[in-house]
Chains A and B, each alone.
Chain A
Amino acid sequence: MDVDLTHLDDTLLLQHIRQGGREAFAVLVNRYADRFYRIAYRLVSSKDDAEDIVQEAFLKLWRRPKLWDPSKGAKFNTWFYKVVINLCVDHQRKKRPLGLPQDMEMADGNPGHDVLLDDHQRQSLLDRFISDLPDRQRQALALCFYEGVSNHEAADMMGVTLKALQSSIMRAKTTLKKKVKLYFGGGSI
Chain B
Amino acid sequence: MRMDPKQFREYMLIYGTDILNWPEDMRTPGLKALKSSLELQAILEDEERFERVLRESRYEDPDPDLAERIISASLQKEDKRPYSVAGFFSDIFWEFGMPNRALTAVSLSLLVALILGFAIGFFYPSGAISSEQNQINLEAFLYYEGDVL
Contacts and interface: CB of A to CB of B under 8 A. Distances in A.
Interface of A: 18-19, 22, 25-26, 29-30, 33-34, 37-38, 41-42, 45, 47, 50-51, 54-55, 58-59, 62-63, 66, 119, 122-124, 126-127, 130, 145-146, 151, 166, 169-170, 173-174, 176-177, 180, 184, 188-189
B16 A145 contact: yes
B99 interface: yes
Interface in B2-18: 10, 13-16
24 contacts: A19-B99, A22-B74, A25-B71, A26-B71, A29-B67, A29-B71, A33-B67, A37-B62, A38-B59, A41-B59, A47-B60, A54-B62, A55-B69, A55-B73, A59-B74, A62-B78, A63-B77, A124-B58, A126-B57, A126-B58, A127-B57, A169-B13, A174-B13, A189-B46
A69 B17 CA distance: 37
A126 B56 contact: yes
A185 to B, nearest CB: 11
Contact of B53 (A63, A170, A174, A188): A188
Contact of A51 (B46, B66, B78): B66
A184 B69 contact: no
Given A123-B57, A126-B58, 13 more contacts: A18-B99, A26-B67, A51-B62, A126-B53, A145-B54, A151-B15, A169-B14, A170-B14, A174-B13, A176-B50, A184-B53, A188-B49, A189-B49
A145 B17 CA distance: 11
Nearest to A19: B98
Contacts of A25: 71, 74
A166 B14 contact: yes
Contacts, number: 100
Interface residues of B, number: 33
Nearest to A120: B58
B15 to A, nearest CB: 8
A145 B74 CA distance: 32
A127 B74 CA distance: 33
